[in-house]
Structure 1
Amino acid sequence: MRQLLIITLALFSISCLADDDNRRLISTNGYGEIKASADTAIIDLSIRATRKSGQDAKQEVDDRFNNFLDQLQSMSIDRKDVIASTLRVYPRYEHSNGSRHFSGYEAIRTLSVTLHKLDQLTHVMDQALAQKLEGIDNIRYESSLAEEYRMKAHQQAIEDSKLKAAALAKAYGAELGPIVRIDYHRNTPMYASKMQDGMESAQMLRAASSRPGTYLPDELTYSDNIQVVFDLIINP
């Protein structure tokens, strides 16, 4: 009896696999894309100082940051648009003649400033250098309507997947059945920045002429992809 039950279950499994193998499916990829202009800039900055004691190094970077923060407030930049929560202090060593010598402690603070007015960008960088924030590490651009554009791109991708699948099914004399699977990975916006004379080091910016630099963000692209698998109903 037990052997008969095992044989019956095995035959049932083979039958199910055969049905899956003969299942008619159609897979489409939906794509949506929205282009927008940037209206927000995020500047990533860093402050470094090396002193004989860790306390002195920390105090140095704290003083520079506080002076820079005062300048930002004078430009009506809100404190909530400044993130400066990290501090690292570690010993530094110099190597010479096969030996290592302690040279002091280095303190590093990193911060980011969000600007809602792009015309403030050059002035903020000038103030950062004036307050001895030597590291202008990165400039990113964003839109204040980013979430709205993401949702529009998402909806476009959904509609695109449906239209493609329906058109293909019709072309082959079939109809779309229920959705079998949806594969989705949200995309991140793509952007590029254009600088008047290219990316310059802090030293080059400090030595530049009095003519302010021009920074022209490219268009932001918000895109989305959705992979959808439908059952395909063959008309008799």
Structure 2
Amino acid sequence: MRTTLSIVALLILSSAVLAQGELRTITVNGTGSSSVAPDRASVQMSIIARSATVAAAQEAAATVTAKVLEMTSTLGIDRDRVDTTGSSVRPDYRWNRETEEQELRGYIAQRQMRVDVRDLDKLGALVEGAVEAGVNQVSPPQLDSSKRRDAYREALDAAAKDAQANAAQLAQSLGAKLGDVLQISTLSQPNPPAPMMRMAMAESMESSAPETYNAANLNFDATITAVFELVE
């Protein structure tokens, strides 16, 4: 009886190994893309103040910061959308060629701020207002969308359909039929926010109208790899 059970188990195991060995697969890639209009932006600013003392440099930087906060409030930007992301103070040295030594000229206070904008029509006024308030550096606005995740999923869906179409075409060329998908993996990540390019003034340089910005669509790309079974 024990011998009979052993033979049956061996036959079942052999059949499973044989079936697994006969499994034919095909591996393909698929790509997809989607686009969405931006509806938000982030603006990075740097405030740099120099003075003879630490206190004076910090006070000068704080004055510009207060002006920026007042300006953003006037534009209707919520206070919780304006953050101070960094603050530092360092000595300001210069090299004296005569004494061949470094001389302390004073101190530099620096602050970094980030403003998140939910109304892109306010970007021009925000950038110009920041410069007028005394901000030293304003980075190009970074575009983004509240529908970023949905747009990337649309790109993934298109990539999956592309992979299936590629696999079906190859299977047909090989005289086989496409079976179930056995494995799928992504080879891409959602695109980061894109910088916004500045447009020319809507009117002449003497105009007091704020600059406008080109809010081009954001593009999202996805690439996947899929393994399909080939059947007779």
> With structure 1 as the length reference, what TM-score do the two structures score?
0.76
1:233 matched to 2:209? The reply is: no
CA contact (8 A) 1:190 1:221 kept: no
Cα RMSD over matched residues? 2.7
1:195 matched to 2:198? The reply is: yes
- Residue 210 of structure 1 aligns to which amino acid in structure 2? S
* Equivalence map 1:41-52=2 (5 Å): 41-52=41-52
Q: Which residue of 2 aligns with 1:210?
A: 207
CA contact (8 A) 1:48 1:61 kept: yes
Write the distance in 1 (CA, Å) between the matches of 2:198 and 2:186.
38
Question: Paired residue for 2:138, among 136, 139, 151?
Answer: 136
Question: Paired residue for 1:223, among 218, 221, 224?
Answer: 221
Q: Deviations over 1:176-206 (max 9, x none)?
A: 45524624331315746342349xxxxxxxx
The gaps in structure 1 that reach 5 residues or longer are 1-15, 199-207
Alignment partner of 1:138: what SS? coil
Q: Deviations over 1:1-30 (max 9, x none)?
A: xxxxxxxxxxxxxxx9xx99x975422222
Q: Which residue of 2 aligns with 1:68?
A: 68
Alignment partner of 1:38: what SS? coil
Write the distance in 2 (CA, Å) between the matches of 1:42 and 1:146.
15
Q: Deviations over 1:90-147 (max 9, x none)?
A: 2221123132111222111111112222221111112111110121122111223222
Q: Which residue of 1 aligns with 2:187?
A: 184
Shift of the 234–51 alpha-carbon distance from structure 1 to 2, 3 Å rule, reads same
CA contact (8 A) 2:49 2:61 kept: yes
Name the stretch that deviates more: 79-88 or 174-183: 174-183
Shift of the 190–49 alpha-carbon distance from structure 1 to 2, 3 Å rule, reads closer
Would you say how many aligned residue pairs link Structure 1 and Structure 2?
Answer: 207
Write the distance in 1 (CA, Å) between the matches of 2:54 and 2:65.
17
- Residue 80 of structure 2 aligns to which amino acid in structure 1? K
Shift of the 141–53 alpha-carbon distance from structure 1 to 2, 3 Å rule, reads same
Shift of the 226–77 alpha-carbon distance from structure 1 to 2, 3 Å rule, reads same
Name the stretch that deviates more: 161-170 or 61-70: 161-170
Q: Which residue of 2 aligns with 1:11?
A: none
CA contact (8 A) 2:142 2:193 kept: no
- Residue 88 of structure 2 aligns to which amino acid in structure 1? R
- Residue 137 of structure 2 aligns to which amino acid in structure 1? G
* Equivalence map 1:76-225=2 (5 Å): 76-97=76-97, 98-174=100-176, 175-176=178-179, 178-180=181-183, 182-189=185-192, 191=194, 193-197=196-200, 209-212=206-209, 213-225=211-223
Write the distance in 2 (CA, Å) between the matches of 1:111 and 1:155.
38
Give the number of the structure whose alpha-carbon radius of gyration is greater: 2
Write the distance in 2 (CA, Å) between the matches of 1:101 and 1:209.
43
Write the distance in 2 (CA, Å) between the matches of 1:28 and 1:216.
38
Identity within the alignment, %: 23
Alignment partner of 1:57: what SS? helix
Shift of the 135–222 alpha-carbon distance from structure 1 to 2, 3 Å rule, reads same
Write the distance in 2 (CA, Å) between the matches of 1:162 and 1:54.
65
